[in-house]
Each structure stands twice: as C-alpha cells, then as structure tokens.
C-alpha cells in the first residue's frame, strides 16, 4: 500500500486521511521502535487537532510517550526530534488546499523519514495491527516550551548588529511577512523583529480555510498581492507556506525571486564557512551550478523531496547544504528543511548590508536566467500516469535533440544550448509538472508553447481533460 508522496503523507479529508487512518499510523510509528518518545505538532487546518489526537492515541497504545507541543511550524518538531531524541510528527498538508491534510515524520536525528522507513510504515499499515495490553499504554505530556527552545536557538545562531538597533532605526529595515494564515504566524514576525527588522505582517493570524491566499507561495499567487506588499516600502517580502518549510521571496522592484537564485546565494554564503558537497534536487537550474563552481564547490542532483536522504548517506560533515526550490537544508543548523531559518538568514543579511534582496543578489553576481514552471491538473486522475509516458516520448524530439536525459526523478532533458526541461508527476495531486530554463526568452517561449501543444494533443487523444493550468 503506497501512502507516502514526495514529502510525507497527504490526501483529501476524509477520503484518504481521516481519524481512523491517523490512529493506525500512530500504531505503525510506535511499532517501528525508533524511540520510546514522540513529539507532535499540528498546523492551522480545521482537521489538524482531530487528526493529532487520533494519531496520539495510536502512539500511546504502543507504549510510546507523546510530547504534545501544540500548534507550531513543521521545522519546530524536526528540531525537537533531534534535541529530545524522539520521533517528530507534524500534522499538516503543507502547501495543499484546506480540504487536504497529512503527516510529516522525522527520526530522532531530525531527518525526515527516508524511503526505507516509509516502506516499513506502509508494510505495517498493510497488516492487522494488534494493540498491546492496558499496562503498556504510555503517557502524554503537554509542552508548549518547544517553540521557545527553537526560537531562542535560532536567534542565538543568527545574532546581527540589528539586535542592538533602537526602534527608530528598525524602521529602515521594513520586511513584509506573509504567513498565509498558517502555522508560522507567531514565530516568523518574531524572528524578524528580534533580529532587528520591522515586520509588516500580512495574513499573520491563524486561518484554517486559507481565505486570504493559497498556502502555496507560488509566483502567480504572490504577485497578485504585489501592489499591497510594496505599499509598505519594504526591503523584501517573505511569504511562507502552511507549515513553514517553504519560503518564497519578492523584491520591491524585481517582484518574485526565483528560488534557484536564492539557493545559489545561500551556497555562496555557506561554502566559505563550511566545505562540503551541495546537494540539489533534479528541478534546480544552471545558476546553482555556475555559482557553486565559481567558489570551488561541487553540485550533485538528487530526487525531489529526498535530498535529506543523500545528506544522511554522505554524513552532515561532508555536505555544506542541500536544497530544493523553496526549501533549504543548512547543515550548520540541522538536517531538516526550514523556511524560518531561511527567513532568519535573509533578514540578517538585509540588515547587515542595508540593501534590498535584489541589490544583494546583484552584488553577489547571482545570474537570473529565464525560467518557467507549469502544472496541469488532469481528469480523470487515472490517466495522469499514461499521459506522463506519452509526454516523455514526445519531448524526445519536439524541442530538439537532447544532449542528455536524466531519469532519476521524472525525466529531465538537457539541450546543447544549456536549456533544459523536466517533466514529473506530482507526488500529492493528479498533476503533471513541467520545469524549464533557458539562456534567452525566445527559447523559453518556444519551450512553453511546445509543452502546451504536447499536453493538449495527448489529452485529446486519450480523452482526458485539463482542469487547470497553474504557473510558478
């Protein structure tokens, strides 16, 4: 039974994810035997408290102590898993719409579960799970101090001259923080404020229905708010997803900043402090390679959503950084993806230099190549996989002869002119996703038109419908 997607478990409530499933999942986690302790947090979704208590019941029934840390971002429980040597669990559907929910799991070292651990969970869930006798039931304790521990640690590592600024000086460092009504609504503004910035809060109250904006901080979603954001005259706009592992950034002049450029910037800043390999996902662009090569580093591409596995294989001491669009693992901080850590790093940088994020990228000579990301929602969902294979076949000739094809996660076509196209199946929705980059806009337009022709042609041939097309 396959239940794990690209990152954790996600599905529609109650058809895929429901209290009965959560209870069985708790029992399965307890039977893994990774630790006698677990830590549980949940996001702002309406169904999250319900699923949390069902999950906790399953965990307790196996003799696994539960530390209930309440409503908190996912990175907090990953941090807590390592610090308190337990299994960390976040009840969240991350950036998915409010009718979805799910679970992200972390081992006692703070790593998101590897595919081997996921397979063991799936194996347990396929069995008749027996419940131990009453005298083996463990205790649950409520502990809201985990958020405080996380905040104090993150601030202690990101001390800047901004910590000593007076209230008048802080106004020079205005930063918009958009939490989407998600789990970061308390911590994100606090981090900016404590580092010396002036947070201008947008959607920073809990919203279980994500009424004001989608929890997915996509380019098209965020740019619809751009005029509101820049009316505050900020040095940057930080937009988080529903659970706090994703961060998007906008510049007041440039608009949406491509995440690959941010990964390249992080690599350039981190490598002088910590040597090691840079692990990035299959959907990252050439800008990362170019910048890392300039500072003497090495880039390795890996499966989307699983870069943490490669970090674990190589050892944290041998990896400077791992990254995926929206997501950063800074091994100086920990082996988990952390949008709040990214926010803190960028806030510190803005205050230290007194410049916008766009100006900093220019100073650091981080190139900006034309790029695109397009997702097609397919109906009926059963045809999505068949369409994928047809698309791959047609891409072998539609856009020119590829110089290289990489098929470790989806299929990536690299062309002699250094443009590339990646097509892959979404791990959480019946979507086909396309990622592409080129050195000039004419080539980008040609790629996007070619993709649209292919997907439309194949859908008509198979009798499928394209329900929606999203950009970014």
Residues classed as catalytic:
94
State how far the Cα of 360 lies from the Cα of 5, in Å rounded to an integer.
36
| DSSP code string of 264-280 | HHHHHHHTTTS-SEEEE
State how far the Cα of 458 lies from the Cα of 468, in Å rounded to an integer.
15
Which residue(s) pair with 1 in the sheet? none
State how far the Cα of 466 lies from the Cα of 472, in Å rounded to an integer.
17
DSSP 3-state of 410: coil
State how far the Cα of 237 lies from the Cα of 42, in Å rounded to an integer.
25
CA dist 302 to 10, 116, 282, 306, 368, Å? 22, 16, 6, 7, 22
**With the C-alpha atoms ordered 286, 334, 250, 211, is the resulting torsion angle positive or negative?**
positive
State how far the Cα of 37 lies from the Cα of 59, in Å rounded to an integer.
9
User: N- to C-terminal Cα distance for the chain?
Assistant: 31
State how far the Cα of 395 lies from the Cα of 409, in Å rounded to an integer.
16
Helix (H) or strand (E) holding 226: helix 226-230
User: Rounded to the nearest 10 degrees, how much is the dihedral formed by the CA atoms of 387, 392, 393, 398?
Assistant: 110
DSSP state of 144: T
Helix (H) or strand (E) holding 3: none
DSSP state of 331: T
State how far the Cα of 189 lies from the Cα of 455, in Å rounded to an integer.
42
């Amino acid at each position: 039974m396959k239940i794990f997607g690209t990152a954790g478990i996600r599905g529609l409530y109650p058809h895929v994810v429901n209290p009965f499933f959560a209870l069985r999942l708790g029992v399965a986690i307890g039977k893994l035997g990774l630790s006698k302790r677990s830590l549980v947090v949940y996001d702002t979704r309406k169904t999250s408290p319900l699923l949390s208590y069902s999950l906790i019941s399953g965990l307790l029934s196996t003799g696994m102590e539960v530390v209930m840390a309440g409503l908190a971002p996912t990175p907090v429980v990953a941090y807590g898993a390592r610090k308190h040597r337990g299994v960390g669990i976040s009840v969240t559907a991350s950036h998915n719409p409010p009718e979805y929910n799910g679970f992200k799991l972390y081992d006692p070292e703070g790593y998101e579960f590897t595919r081997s651990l996921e397979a063991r969970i799936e194996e347990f869930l396929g069995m008749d799970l027996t419940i131990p006798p009453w005298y083996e039931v463990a205790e649950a304790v409520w502990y809201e101090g985990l958020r405080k521990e996380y905040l104090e640690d993150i601030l202690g590592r990101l001390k800047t001259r901004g910590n000593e600024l007076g209230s008048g000086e802080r106004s020079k460092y205005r930063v918009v923080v958009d939490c989407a009504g998600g789990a970061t609504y308390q911590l994100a503004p606090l981090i900016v404020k404590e580092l010396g910035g002036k947070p201008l809060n947008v959607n920073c109250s809990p919203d279980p229905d994500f009424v004001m904006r989608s929890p997915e901080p996509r380019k098209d979603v965020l740019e619809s708010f751009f005029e509101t954001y820049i009316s505050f005259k900020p040095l940057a706009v930080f937009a988080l997803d529903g659970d706090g592992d994703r961060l998007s950034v906008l510049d007041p002049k440039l608009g949406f900043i491509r995440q690959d450029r941010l990964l390249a910037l992080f690599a350039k800043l981190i490598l002088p402090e910590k040597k090691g390999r840079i692990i990035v996902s299959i959907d990252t662009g050439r800008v990362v390679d170019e910048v890392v090569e300039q500072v003497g580093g090495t880039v390795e591409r890996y499966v989307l959503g699983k870069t943490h596995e490669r970090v674990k294989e190589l050892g944290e001491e041998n990896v400077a950084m791992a990254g995926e669009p929206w997501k950063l693992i800074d091994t100086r901080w920990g082996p988990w993806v952390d949008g709040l850590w990214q926010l803190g790093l960028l806030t510190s940088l803005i205050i230290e230099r007194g410049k916008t994020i766009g100006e900093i990228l220019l100073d650091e000579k981080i190139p900006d190549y034309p790029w695109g990301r397009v997702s097609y929602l397919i109906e009926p969902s059963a045809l999505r996989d068949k369409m994928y294979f047809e698309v791959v076949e047609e891409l072998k000739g539609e856009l020119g002869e590829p110089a290289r094809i990489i098929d470790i996660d989806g299929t990536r076509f690299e062309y002699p002119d250094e443009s590339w196209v990646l097509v892959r199946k979404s791990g959480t929705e019946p979507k086909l996703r396309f990622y592409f980059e080129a050195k000039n806009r004419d080539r980008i337009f040609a790629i996007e038109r070619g993709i649209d022709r292919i997907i439309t042609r194949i859908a008509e041939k198979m009798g499928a419908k394209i329900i929606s097309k999203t950009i970014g």
